[in-house]
Each structure stands twice: as structure tokens, then as C-alpha cells.
Structure 1
Amino acid sequence: MIKLDAGWTFDNRYARLPERFFSRVLPTPVRAPELAVLNRPLAAELGLNEEALRSDAEVAVLAGNRIPDGAEPLAQAYAGHQFGYFTMLGDGRAVLIGEHVTPSGKRVDIQLKGSGRTPYSRGGDGRAALGPMLREYIVSEAMHALRIPTTRSLAVVTTGETIRRETELPGAILTRVASSHLRVGTFQYAAQWGTKEELRALADYALGRHFPGFEEAENRYLFLLEQVIARQAALIAQWQLVGFVHGVMNTDNMTISGETIDYGPCAFMDTYDLKTVFSSIDTEGRYAYGNQPYIGGWNLARLAESLLPLLDEDEEKAVALAQEALDQYPTLYHRHWLDGMRAKLGLAEAQAGDGELIADLLRLMEEYRADYTNTFRALTLGEYIGMALFDASEFREWHERWQTRLSQEAVSREEAYERMRRHNPAVIPRNHRVEEALAAAVNCGDYSVMERFLEALADPYAYSPEQAEYAELPPPSDRPYRTFCGT
């Protein structure tokens, strides 16, 4: 029998950092691993052999039962502010297998999530349930299709074991692919418990991995801070533009790379409401939809504090440099958000009254409890049915103002509507559809519901007939939708 080569090419630079930043640990083997889902397009992008990945030998790799050549498994150490409270953390149920280099030269982390206990497990079992791992697979791939920077999911493997949460659940391991797993919390950990030289080593690693051109910067660590601020401003604006609620914006869940990470209690907003919260543990609404831009700034301030020793030897000057960089965040965020909102309304040029036009639409959407995604979908298609908003005289007045504003664009009306199609998704991973797919897979072993759903989400701007059913609103419910972190 010929053994197929999956194509792993590991070059593990994080493992060369001071060992304060990680613990070398092997995944805990599982009883009976089986491949549940494999991301074929991502496998091809990574230069991996799909047929090999489906073999028993490679399923064993994806389950943590076998370590591939060149891998150096480790659990990363980091800290973080969780709901505002600082604590020591780390990979409590994940193992970084190594850094894979694709045929194009791109470097990505390959991490097994749910792979057993580590020195950072803090009493947890280190395992993951099938439902939350499939949720991460669905939503992270939907985010990628929406062109929003995100970690991705290569595979989900069932373990043949059960784990205990409120009830017994089938266990699973997700293979997460990320530009890196460096977080704001990684720098907080280095600043709190490491030496200045260890902090410098971490910062230099981050610069080399994510920010080409740092060699020309007058102050490379200020450059690092500015680049992270710019990427996070753009990322969070993109979340807001599609109605995505992260749910747990702790500093350990904010990446240095600018990718969305951790799809625990996340969800997409249906009814437009700034106070929207889905996470069962966010009882005060700290991470509500409308608070996300502000929490982004708060988290970035924690990164700036951690980098102060590197910004300048003079503490006052370091603080001034950090504050000047942080002051750019609101401006950058608002520019990205406003440009994105203009695009959602077909506007390519900036005019002074655009902010008011957008604000008035959002106010009407909130007042009439309109669906966020389908409001913009209706504007794009010119089909105004199914929502009370569209019957309101105030909306008709707003619509006339919008049409007048469109007529002032240099491009044709057809070009304006085509611009809207490129920026208003026809479908999002609606919460009731996610639950439908998870229930079929977890309870019945039927992955066909999830596969059809993923096909519809793969090109959210297609406006195809096959997507129409996935744009339908959920049935009325007396209970708010709630999500859970899965640990």
C-alpha cells in the first residue's frame, strides 16, 4: 500500500522564542478518530493533498494521535482582560502543531482545538464538543466568504469519545488555520511576567511575521502599534457592516494580525439593535453589537500599555507616543465604517450629508425592528416587501432622499446598484440555519444540511435563486437567541 504525502512543510519560528511563551506538550490521543468535515478549497490553498488528508494516517494527525514530520507541538502562554478583569490564561485546550509554509510562501499556524489538557487548562478537560467546533467551521468560512479577515477551519474530526458539559456530548477536534495566534494578551503576558528583552523578542517576531517594511521605520515598535491599530480599525468596521457580533472581545481574542479569532458565542444580528447580545455570559452587554468599536479601542490601549517599555526609554515620551497612535483609532474606524456604509447604499463619492442619510436609515431600522441584512438586500434589489419598515411614510421620504443622492453620483444608476450587490450580502449564517445544520450533524450524523448551507454561504454576494431560502427570517420566538462558549 502506497502511503500518500499530505504535503506538510513545517518551519517553526515561534518555537525558537524564549520558552516563557509556551510549553512543549503533545496532544492527548483519542479513542476512534473519524473525519467529519474537510475544507477542500483551503486544503488546496495550503498545498495539501486532499486524498492524503482523508487517509487514516492523516486523520490521526488531525486528531492529535500522530505527530507529522517537522511539527513541534506546543501550547502558547498568554494573558488577557476577560470582561475587564486581568488574568493569566494560555492554550487550555489547544495545541499549536507548527507553522506550515504553503507553496506560495505564506506562513500559517496549524492548531488543534480540543486536543486535550495543557499546563494552562486551569481545571478544564481540554476537550471540545462537536457542535461548537462545527459552529466555528461554519461561521469562520462564512466570514472568509464575506471577505473579512479570519482564522479558518481545515477540518473537524470526531473523537469517538464523549465530554461532559451540562450533558454528555460527542467530542471533536477542529484544525484551525491562522496567520498566527499572537494576541494582545500575548503582549500583556510578556509585559507582566517577562523581561524587557523577552518582550522585545516577541515584538520582533510579530514584526517579522506580519509587518513587512518595519526595517525602514524610525521606531519599529511604534510602527507595530500603529499597524495593529490600523488593522483592527478596519476589521471591526467590517464586523459592524455585516452585523456580526463577536460575543467575547477579551484581549486574548484580539489578534495582532487583524484576523477574527474565536467563534464561541458569536452570531449575526437579525433585527437591527445596537444593544444586541448573544453570549449567555455577557449579562451586562459589555460586548454588545454597538459597543464593539469602543471595546476595540479599549483593547488596543492595553496593547499600547504593554509596549511602553519598547516605545521609548523615557516613560513620559513613551506614553505620549502611545496616546498619539491610539488617537488615530476612532478616525480610522469611522472612515472605514462610513466608506463601507456609503458602498452599501451605492455611493462612491463622499458628500457632507451622507452621515445624516445613513444615520436616519439606521434610526428607522431600529424603530421598526427591521432585519439588518434584508433591509440592505431589499434596497439592492428594489423589492420592498416583508417588513413594516417599508410601509412607513418616513421610509418613503428617506427613500426619495436616497434616490436624489444617488442621482448626484458620477456613475450610472446600474453601476451604483452593482456596487451595492458587491457590498450587501444576500445571505449570512442566520442563527436558526446554523442551529438547524448543527442539530442534523450532531444528533443525526447528517452533514448534508450543513453542506448545502455552506454552498449557499460560499458566495454571499451572488444573489442566486438557491440562496433565497437562506435569506428568510427566523420564525417568531418569545425567547432571545443565546450562544455559549463551549468550554
Structure 2
Amino acid sequence: MRDIFDNSYARLPDRFFTKLPPVPVAQPQILRINDALARELGLDPADLTAEVLTGNALLPGSEPLAQVYAGHQFGGWVPRLGDGRAILLGEVTGDFGRRDIQLKGSGVTPYSRNGDGRAWVGPVMREYIVSEAMHAFGVPTTRALGAALTGEGVQRERRYPGAILTRVAASHIRVGTFQYFAARGDTAGLRLLSDHCIARHYPEADGPLSFLAGVVAAQARLVAKWMSLGFIHGVMNTDNMAVSGETIDYGPCAFMDAYHPRTVFSSIDQQGRYAFQAQPNMAVWNLAQLATALLPLMDGDPDRAAEEATRVLESFADHFSPEWMRLFRAKIGLVSEEDGDEALITGLLSRMASSQADFTATFTALSDGDASTHITDDGAWNSWAPDWTARLEREPGDHRKTMRAANPVLIPRNHRVEEAIQAGIDGDHAPFHRLVDALTRPFDPRPEDRDLATPPKPDERVLRTFCGT
């Protein structure tokens, strides 16, 4: 079998990573293979055996390594993090560009910080389900190439079945990767990393400042897409922000059921730092840490470099706001622009909040012309719908087609994800497979999958999510 990897990150100096193989597992067993993604990457799905998906065997040309990085976690600085339970196998190239293939849950590394380096089936299922759904929604994201069971137990609050996720990403380079080298005063390392990322992700950039501008624009558009779906990342630490502009590290993530801008799901986010409405501001905060790390590579005058970087950071809104408006216009059936559109959209969202309306179901109902059964606060629908109807009358085109293309019917409902995980703990993987299959068609589900769109009953609502690492 030919070598399938071209490992540009492994060609960087040794201080960027530690080379080591995955830790073998006892009884590897395939849980799921993403055949379509494998073929897209030029791989034969038949080569993705249980041994390969667990790291017991390596594909030709693999150079396994764990990347080092640092980061701010909930605002607190941690000078050395790194891949504590992940191994980068290598990079594949083709018409799609360059993609990392990584095992997540593959055993202890030098960066494990007293952890076991393993994952259990719950977070593996969650990331597989949610990342593939995000891809189907058209959101830049890491993806799931496969998942496998290890045949070993993993001890958390109890003993769970072990599992490993095979993850694909444009890269696994994070804001925290830059912070690691900056904190050590390693300007040479910073420059190598910056040059690597420019060549890989932003070839139009002519230096660190324009590289920063590219990351700012990509993150602004990404977070706008999150907001349009009611998605809450849950742990927007700087080590969980990829400079490529992809969504990465699906830990205590969730899609809102009842809409409220201050919604928090993560059990570890006690202060609401990463609440739904806070996500744009937190993205800017993270990007400011990237800018700070890059300052030594910018203008020789520190004050001028800081001013230039600040101007780039301030451009976040110039990218976020138009994308947010474009997405939410489409969600209410609009493509053209009028001055009153923002007030129309925010008026709808405020009524949804006061009615505790289900985010996804409300917009699905709106696609059918009437969301009055969801916006139930006294007079709320009747005080908004006439202005919306009048605006649609001035809008050319097929309004319902626009809305149906912008509003998924199916999302990974929290209670459905939890059902799949609980069944998986007991060895029943059918709910997991059903959910993954259904979410490949989130805008036009099959009739037999329509029940997955039903919002949870009050006693079914998931109020807290967990990292589950």
C-alpha cells in the first residue's frame, strides 16, 4: 500500500511536538466509518480497519505525534497544555487541500496532565454526531472519519466503555499554539509557525498582520453561523480556537431548545463566560490573545504594532455583522436589504425569548408561514407578523424556498444525543447510527426521521452538558 501522508507539521522543529505512537488497545472494534469522507480524502474505507482506527496499526507514511500548545482556560493562563489524549497521525493532500488525520482518545502523552489519555464512548459519539451535523449545515468544522471501541473500560465518575474518534481537520493549530511560543520568547518558533499557517491556510497573506486579519475574518463568519443555528460551543478557550476558522473541540456543546440569549449549558461554565450571546465578544477576546502573541513578528515599533493589531481586531464587527444579517435575513425569507431588517429580526428574537420559543422549531414554522404556536407571549406574534408579511411583499423571489434552505428541520437535539449516548453505554448503538444518518439531511429529512425534530418535553430537557473527557 502506498504512503498516503505528506506531513508538513512533522517537518517543523522538535519543540513543536513530541513524536510517539498511540497506546495500543485490547479489543478494537469498529463503531462507525464515514465512507463518504474517506473517499473524499482519497482513502479506501476498507483500509480503515478497527486496528487503524484505534492506533494499533498505522497507515503507511504516518508519523504520529502529539502537538504542544498553551492557552487561556476560562480566562486563566495555562502555560503548557498540548494533546493530552490525541495523536496526529499525519496529513493527506488532494483537490480538497491538506487535512490532518488525528486519533482522539489514543492514550497518555507527555501533555496528559495526570490524565489517562483515553476517551469514553459518550464524548466520542457526541463529537461524531455534532461535527457531522455542522458539516451538513455548511459550517466550517472538524469532521469525524471514524469511531472505534477499545474493548477497555475508562474510569470517570463510573466505568464506561472506551472509544477513540478519528478526526479530520484543516489543521489542529490553535490560538494557544501561538501563545505557547510567545510566552517562551521563542520568536523564531513564532515565525516558523506563522509562516506554516500562512502557507497552509492564508496564502494570500503577506505577513503576520494580514495573517491575523485572515483569522479574524474567518472566526467572525464562523461565530455568526453558530449564532444562526442556536449553537453554543460551551468552552471557547484559546486552546479550543483553530486558526483555520473551523469549529473544533466539541465538549459541552449544545444547540438551544428554548431560546434565550443568556443560555448556558456547560456544567463548568459557572459564570456564563461562554453563554450564547457572549460568543462574538469571546471570539474577539481570544483573537486579542493571538494578536498579542504575534506582536513580536510585526512592526519593529511596539506601539505602532499594537495600534495596527488593534485596528485588525476592530474589524471583527465588519465581518460578523454582515454575515449575521445575511444569515438571519435568509431565516425570515429575505435576500435583499432594507434599513428596517435588523429591527425586524431582533424584534422576532426578543419575542422568542419572552415566549421561551424553541429556536429551531420556530424558524421551521416560520418557513411554513406561521409561528404563532411558538411565539405565545400575549400579543407577541400579532404585533410582529404584519410587519414581516409587509416586508415579504416587497421581497422578490421564493420566500419559502429561501427559508427552507436557511433553517434546518433537524438539529442534534440534546435529549436525542443523550439518548444515543445512554444506549451506547449499554451496548446499543442503533440510536447513534440513526441520528448520524438522519442529520446528513437536516433541511429535508426523510418522513421516518421527522420525529427527531420534535422539541423535548419539559422533563426531557437537558439543562447541563459535560466535557466528558
* TM-score greater than 0.5 by the shorter chain: yes
| Structure 2 counterpart of 1:198 | 189
- Between Structure 1 and Structure 2, how many residues are aligned? 468
Q: What is the CA deviation profile of residues 240-265 of structure 1, one whole-angstrom value per residue up to 9, with x for unaligned ones?
A: 00000000000000001000000110
TM-score, with structure 2 as normaliser: 0.97
Alignment gaps of 5+ in structure 2: none
Match of 2:390 among 404, 412, 417: 404
Residue 419 (structure 1) shift: 0.7
Alignment of 1:241-256 (within 5 A): 241-256=228-243
Shift in Å at residue 302 of structure 1?
A: 0.4
Q: Distance in 2 between matches of 1:399 and 1:479?
A: 29
Find the aligned partners of 1:270 and 1:247 in 2 and give their Cα distance.
15
Cα shift at 1:142: 0.4
Structure 2 residue 458 is matched with structure 1 residue 471 = no
1:414-466, Cα deviation, whole Å (9 max, x unpaired) = x12111111011110101111112222221x2222222222221121115433
| Match status 1:133 vs 2:124 | yes
RMSD of aligned C-alpha atoms?
Answer: 1.5
Letter in structure 1 aligned against 2:401: E
In structure 1, the partner of 2:463 is 481
Match of 1:452 among 410, 430, 434: 434
- Name 1:20's counterpart in structure 2: 15
Residue pair 2:334, 2:392 contacting (<8 A) in 1 also: yes
Which of 257-266 and 467-476 deviates more? 467-476
Q: 2:357 — aligned with what? A: 370
1:213 is displaced (CA, Å) by: 2.1
Partner of residue 400 from structure 2, selected from 402, 417, 424: 417
Q: Is the 8 A contact 1:433 1:470 kept in 2?
A: yes
Secondary structure, counterpart of 2:177 in structure 1 = helix
Displacement, 1:133?
Answer: 0.4
**Which residue of 2 is the match for residue 440 of structure 1?**
423
Q: Is the 8 A contact 1:390 1:396 kept in 2?
A: no
Give the equivalent residue in structure 1 for 2:26: 31
* Cα displacement (A) at 1:384: 3.9
1:98 maps to what in 2? 90
Cα offset, 1:197, TM superposition: 1.3
C-alpha distance 129-30 of structure 1, shift in aligned 2 (>3 A) = same
Distance 2:360 2:144 in 1: 25
* Matches of 2:189 and 2:345, distance apart in 1: 47
Secondary structure in 2 matching 1:158:
strand
Check conservation: 2:415, 2:462, Cα contact below 8 A. Answer: no
3-state DSSP of counterpart to 2:458: coil
Distance in 2, Cα, partners of 1:189 & 1:340: 35
Are 1:426 and 1:467, in contact at CA under 8 Å, matched by a contact in 2? no
Question: Is the 2:20–2:66 Cα contact (8 Å) retained in structure 1?
Answer: yes
Give yes or no for the alignment of 1:338 onto 2:325.
yes
Q: Tell me by how many angstroms 1:180 deviates.
A: 0.2
Identity, in percent, stands at 51
Out of 138, 152, 156, which is 1:165 matched to? 156
Pick which of 474-483 and 193-202 moved more: 474-483
Q: Indicate the SS of the match to 2:165.
A: strand
Question: What is the Cα deviation at residue 383 of structure 1?
Answer: 4.5
- TM-score normalised by structure 1 residue count: 0.93
| Residue of 15, 38, 43 corresponding to 2:38 | 43
How far did 1:36 drift? Answer: 0.8
Matched, 1:69 2:60: yes
Residues in 2 aligned to 1:259 and 1:247: alpha-carbon distance in whole angstroms: 15
Q: Alignment partner of 1:347: what SS? A: coil
User: Matched residues in 2 for 1:75 and 1:245: separation?
Assistant: 28
- Amino acid corresponding to residue 14 of structure 1 in structure 2: Y
Secondary structure of 1:177's partner? strand
Superposition deviation, residue 479 in structure 1? 7.3
Q: Is the 8 A contact 2:415 2:461 kept in 1?
A: no
